[in-house]
Amino acid sequence: MTLGRKDVAATALTALAVLVYIGSRQSWNVWLVGGSHRSAAGAIMLLGIATCTLGQAGAEMAKHPATMLLAIVGTLSLAVGVWAVVTGSLTALTLLTAMFVVLWAGSTLRHAWRPTHGPIAV
């Protein structure tokens, strides 16, 4: 298991994104977001970009199928994020947040299952 400080930071940013989503959905009138789905989408996209920089795969994982799948989901989440910002749609905001959580979970699982330094000597 190779979870580290970057995974903890990514978890905190993901939790913050989910709180922004809930705050927007429930009209909590949170600072910088208020009840606006557009503002929430912008904030979640910024949090997603920050989280993405923490979860980059190393050279050994770049061609792994899980990494490629996460890249596809990430690209789709960018398109959904633009959709959410342009339209202010709650559906798009919900999809964006769900994709954010899927990306975080996939990246964290990928890090957890990656071998640390090769086979364990017995």
Is residue 119 included in any domain, yes or no?
no
Q: How far apart are CA 122 and CA 120, in angstroms?
A: 6
Q: How far apart are CA 49 and CA 43, in angstroms?
A: 10
Confidence (pTM): 0.85
Is residue 99 included in any domain, yes or no?
yes
Domain carrying residue 106? 5-113
Is residue 120 included in any domain, yes or no?
no
Task: Measure Cα distances from 64 to 41, 58, 82 in Å.
Answer: 30, 10, 28
From first to last of the 122 residues of the chain, give the pLDDT tens digit: 567 898 899 999 999 999 999 999 998 887 888 789 999 999 999 999 999 888 666 666 667 788 889 989 999 999 999 999 999 999 999 999 999 999 999 988 887 776 555 554 44
The total number of structural domains in the chain stands at 1
Is residue 80 included in any domain, yes or no?
yes
